[in-house]
A and B are shown apart, each in its own frame.
Chain A
Amino acid sequence: MSSYKFLLKLFRLSWNSLRANIFRSFLTTLGIMIGTTTIIMVVALGEGAKKDIEAQYSNMSVTTILINAPSTAGEPSKLSVDDIPLVKTISTVADAVPMLTGKVNISNSDNVTNFSVVGTYFDFAKVANLDLVSGQFFTQDDEDNHNKVAILGATVAEELFGTRDPKVIGESVVLGKREFEIIGIAAYKGGAFGPITIDESVFTPYSSAYRYVLGKTGKFSFNVNATNVDVLDQTMDSLTSILRESHNLGPENADDFRLKDMGTTVASAQSSSQTMALLLGSVGFIVLLVGGIGIMNIMYVTVSERTKEIGIRKAIGAKDVHILTQFLFEAFILTLVGFVVGAVTSIAIYYLLLSMGLKIIFVWWSVLLSFAITFATGMFFGYSPAKKAASLDPIDALRYE
C-alpha cells in the first residue's frame, strides 16, 4: 500500500488547494470552530455548576431537614425554640438545633464589619462538624446563664484581625451594641450550612443572641437530622404533626412552618444543572452538525469546480483511492484547523469568564469529547463529496469545461 511519505505528499496537495482558497476555507471551517468552542465551554460551565452545587451543600447531610417560618403575611409563625424539646421526643430524630440568625455590625477596636450572628445550642458544633483552631465552643452552662461569649468564623476572624488564626482568645468583640468575649475561632470550612455560611458567621448561645443582639429581628430556623435516610419521610410526617399540635393549628389552618429535606433539594439542584448542560450540549452538537453540512456543501462545490483537474489526474494515472484520499484530507484539514482554533478560542474565553468571576471549571476530557464529535462529523460529511470525486469517469471529467 501507499507509503507514509506518499500520504504526506497527498496531504500537502490538499493543504495547498485549501490555501489557494484561504478565505473560503476559513468560512467553511467556521461552523466547526464554533461547535468545538461551544462543546468545551458547555462542559466547563456544567462542571462549574456541579462543583458550585456540591460546595453549597457540602456541609449538609442527606438526613438533614431544615424547618423555618415562611415569610408570608398573616398570622406570625409560632415556630420557636420551645419546639426543640418536642421535636427531640421523636424517636427518629438524631439531633435538633435552633438557629437564630441576623446580620449585625461586628467590630473590635480596629475594624468594623458586617456579618451574621448565629444563636444556637452547644451541640451545633457536633451537628455542623465544626472544628476550632483555638479555644473552645460554648457549653450548656453558657446557654443557661446567657453568657456573652462568641466563636468567630474563619472569614470573620480574618476581616477583624487580618488572619484566620489570630491569638485573641479572651479578647472582646462587639456584636451589634454588646461586647462579647471571644472564646473560640472556627477552622475554615467552605460552603453553606442551610441558611448560613459558617465562615462568615459568629456563633453565640441562643439565649445570648436573642437577649442581647437579635431579639425578634432574628430569623429563626431548626436544623434537624433524622437517624438515617430511610426514615426521612416518616420523620417529616412526625415533625409536621407534632409542630401543628404544638402550634394549636386546627384542620382548617395551614402549616405555619416549612420543612425542607436537603437530599431532595440537592438532587433537584443537580438535575436542573444537568438539564441545562444537556440543553447547551445539544446546541453545540447542532452547531457542529450545521458546520459539517457546510463542509459537505463547499466540498461538493470544490469537486465540481475541479472536475477537469480530477479528470487530468485520473488520465495520467491517479487511482480512485488517490483522489478519495486527497479530498478526505481536505475535509480532515478543515476539521482539524476548525477544531484547533475552536479549542484555543474556548481556552481564551474560559480565562475571560474566569476573570469575570464566573464559576466555570475546565475539564480536559471536554477537549477529547469535542475532538471525537468534530472528527466524526467532518469525516462523515466529507466522505460523500470525496467519494463522488473519486468515482468520476476520467473521459467525462476530461471533457468537462
Chain B
Amino acid sequence: MNNQIISLEDIKKSYFIKDTEFSVLKGIDFDIKKGEFVALMGPSGSGKSTLLNIIGALDKPSSGKYHIQDRLVSDLSSDQLADIRNKYIGFIFQNFNLIPTLSSLENVALPSFYTEQENYDRAKELLSMVGLQDKFNNKPNELSGGQRQRVAIARSLINNPEFILADEPTGNLDSITGKEIMDLILSLNKKYGKTILMVTHDPHLAQLTHRVIYLKDGRITKEKSV
C-alpha cells in the first residue's frame, strides 16, 4: 500500500496573455506522506498561490501529473474536481471564508451537505473539539477572528479528508490568537494523525512542522527537514 498522500511529478503551469506565454510553475516535484506536516514557503510571485490552487484541485496544471493517493487528479473534469475538493481535501483559508448567513453549525456541516449526507452530529462533535461547544448557532459576525478560524478548522475536518490545505491560517490573527490556532493545527497532526500542507510566511511557524519546501520563481529551491 502506497502511503503517499500527495504526489506531484513535473508540474508546470503557464498563462497566456495575448500571445506571450508566462511560465509560473516550471516543474514541481514533491511527495507528502501520510501523517506528515509540511510547510510551503516562498515570496510573493514565486508561484505559491498557483501551486496551492493546483494541489487544492481548484485549478489544473498545464502539464505534469498530480496524484492524491492513487487517484490521478491532473486530468479530471470540473465536476470530478469538485468531488475531490469535497471528499479528499480540507481547506483552511487565511480569511476564514465562512458563509456569513449561516450559523457555525451550518458552516461546519456545509461540505457534508454537498456529499448529500449532511452530518450535524459530527459537526457538533467537531465544534466541541475546537472549543466552540456553546457557539453552535452563532453567525460568523458574532464570533472573534480566532473563533471564526476554529469554525473553519472544524469545517475542514467534516468529511474526514485525506489531507488539510492551510493557506496562512494565522495570517489574519493577532500573535496570541495565532499561536492558539497554530497549536490547534499542530494537535490535528499530532493527536489525530492528519496530513497537513501549510503555506506560511512565518519561519517560526515553519519550524514547527516536519519539513519545509521553499519555492522561488516557479521552482523548488530548497527542501529542509526540521
Give the interface of A toward B (CB within 8 A).
2-3, 6, 9, 16-17, 20, 308-309, 311-322, 394-395, 398
B113, A9: Cβ atoms closer than 8 Å: yes
Give the interface of B toward A (CB within 8 A).
53, 56, 58-59, 78-79, 82-83, 85-87, 91, 93, 97-101, 110-111, 113-116, 118, 155, 159
Q: How far is the CA of A308 from the CA of B96 in the complex (A)?
A: 12
B116, A394: Cβ atoms closer than 8 Å: no
CB contacts (< 8 Å) of A3 on chain B: these are: 116
Of residues A17, A20, A317, which shows the largest number of chain B Cβ atoms within 10 Å of its Cβ? A317
A317, B114: Cβ atoms closer than 8 Å: yes
Closest beta carbon of chain B to A326's beta carbon, Å: 11
CB contacts (< 8 Å) of B113 on chain A: these are: 9
Q: Could you name 21 residue pairs across A and B whose Cβ atoms are closer than 8 Å?
A: A9-B113, A16-B101, A309-B99, A311-B97, A312-B97, A312-B98, A313-B99, A315-B85, A315-B97, A316-B85, A316-B86, A316-B110, A317-B82, A317-B159, A318-B114, A319-B79, A319-B82, A319-B114, A320-B78, A395-B53, A395-B58
CB contacts (< 8 Å) of A317 on chain B: these are: 82-83, 85-87, 111, 114-115, 159
Extra contacts besides A316-B110, A316-B111, A320-B78 (4): CB < 8 Å: A312-B98, A317-B86, A317-B111, A317-B115
CB contacts (< 8 Å) of B53 on chain A: these are: 395
Closest beta carbon of chain B to A231's beta carbon, Å: 75
Closest beta carbon of chain B to A294's beta carbon, Å: 23
Q: How far is the CA of A309 from the CA of B140 in the complex (A)?
A: 13
Nearest B-chain residue to A318, judged by Cβ: B114
Closest beta carbon of chain B to A345's beta carbon, Å: 31
Q: How far is the CA of A3 from the CA of B113 in the complex (A)?
A: 12
Of residues A2, A6, A9, A316, which shows the largest number of chain B Cβ atoms within 10 Å of its Cβ? A316
CB contacts (< 8 Å) of A316 on chain B: these are: 85-86, 91, 110-111, 114, 155
B85, A395: Cβ atoms closer than 8 Å: no
Nearest A-chain residue to B87, judged by Cβ: A317
Q: How far is the CA of A345 from the CA of B211 in the complex (A)?
A: 69
CB contacts (< 8 Å) of B82 on chain A: these are: 314, 317-320
Closest beta carbon of chain B to A322's beta carbon, Å: 6
B97, A2: Cβ atoms closer than 8 Å: no
CB contacts (< 8 Å) of A314 on chain B: these are: 82
Q: How far is the CA of A322 from the CA of B111 in the complex (A)?
A: 12
Q: How far is the CA of A308 from the CA of B97 in the complex (A)?
A: 8
Find B101's partner among A2, A9, A17, A320 (CB 8 Å cutoff).
A17
Q: How far is the CA of A9 from the CA of B117 in the complex (A)?
A: 11
Q: Given the interface contacts A3-B116, A9-B118, A319-B79, does A313 sit within 8 Å of B110 by beta carbon?
A: yes
CB contacts (< 8 Å) of A318 on chain B: these are: 82, 86, 114
Nearest B-chain residue to A6, judged by Cβ: B116
CB contacts (< 8 Å) of A16 on chain B: these are: 101
Nearest A-chain residue to B99, judged by Cβ: A309
Q: How far is the CA of A45 from the CA of B163 in the complex (A)?
A: 67
A398, B97: Cβ atoms closer than 8 Å: yes
Nearest B-chain residue to A391, judged by Cβ: B78
Q: How far is the CA of A311 from the CA of B111 in the complex (A)?
A: 13
Closest beta carbon of chain A to B183's beta carbon, Å: 24
CB contacts (< 8 Å) of B101 on chain A: these are: 16-17, 20, 309
Closest beta carbon of chain A to B58's beta carbon, Å: 5
Q: How far is the CA of A17 from the CA of B97 in the complex (A)?
A: 18
Q: How far is the CA of A319 from the CA of B82 in the complex (A)?
A: 6
Q: How far is the CA of A2 from the CA of B113 in the complex (A)?
A: 12
Nearest B-chain residue to A3, judged by Cβ: B116
Nearest A-chain residue to B52, judged by Cβ: A395
CB contacts (< 8 Å) of B110 on chain A: these are: 313, 316
Q: How far is the CA of A314 from the CA of B86 in the complex (A)?
A: 9
Q: How far is the CA of A390 from the CA of B39 in the complex (A)?
A: 33
Q: How far is the CA of A318 from the CA of B110 in the complex (A)?
A: 9
Of residues B97, B98, B118, which shows the largest number of chain A Cβ atoms within 10 Å of its Cβ? B97
Closest beta carbon of chain B to A320's beta carbon, Å: 7
Of residues A2, A309, A321, which shows the largest number of chain B Cβ atoms within 10 Å of its Cβ? A309
